[in-house]
Amino acid sequence: MELLLNPNVAYLLLVSGFLLAILALFSPGTGLLEIGALFSLLLAGYSVYSLPINAWALALLVVGVIPFVVALQRWKRWPFLLISVAALVIGSIFLFRVADGVAVHPALAVLVSVLSVGLMWLVGRKGMDAVVRPSNHLMRLIGMVGEARTGIYREGTVYVDGETWTARSGAAISAGTPVRVTGRDGLVLVVEPVATSVP
């Protein structure tokens, strides 16, 4: 348990837990991301509870999300993205309070912040593109054949037309099974195994 009281380890667990939780929201159905997020956040929770925190650094981390959201809405708002990265780096370095110096190594904070913002930028842009994409794009998927990427019963993921989609089915479908899109419910595709479809 001494390892969990290292501020660098606590920081990595905290960031990885939040990233896994966000990724789980964008690609539900596997359960692995959810379990990883829960495990990381529980360990990080123990660390955060045991280590003293600078409230101003925590506030800076929270406020740093606002310029990121603004930058996400338009491609040409790079200054907001840079402000977000700077806020995350500074907040990360000073998150945990120590008697002298900084608790989280600055190089680690810079690397993790840049990688996290980059990953969230890609995930956020893909999510926004899917939301604003015309519904006729989804309608043209009906009738197409793809492949179940995970086991599907009620919910899972499929690969159709070069993209991974959240899907649901009334019947249990194992991973790797060819599936046909029979409908949609918002951004969720309704699928059935190809073998059971009516020609």
Q: Is the pLDDT of residue 196 over 50?
A: no
pLDDT at 69: 80
Give the sign of the dihedral formed by CA 30, CA 36, CA 37, CA 38: positive
Tens of pLDDT, residue by residue over 136-182, are: 566 788 899 999 999 888 889 999 988 889 899 988 899 999 999 99
> Between 107 and 28, where is the model more confident?
107
* Residues facing residue 180 across a β-bridge: 145, 192
* Residues facing residue 158 across a β-bridge: 148, 165
Tens of pLDDT, residue by residue over 52-95, are: 888 898 899 888 888 888 887 766 677 888 888 898 899 889 98
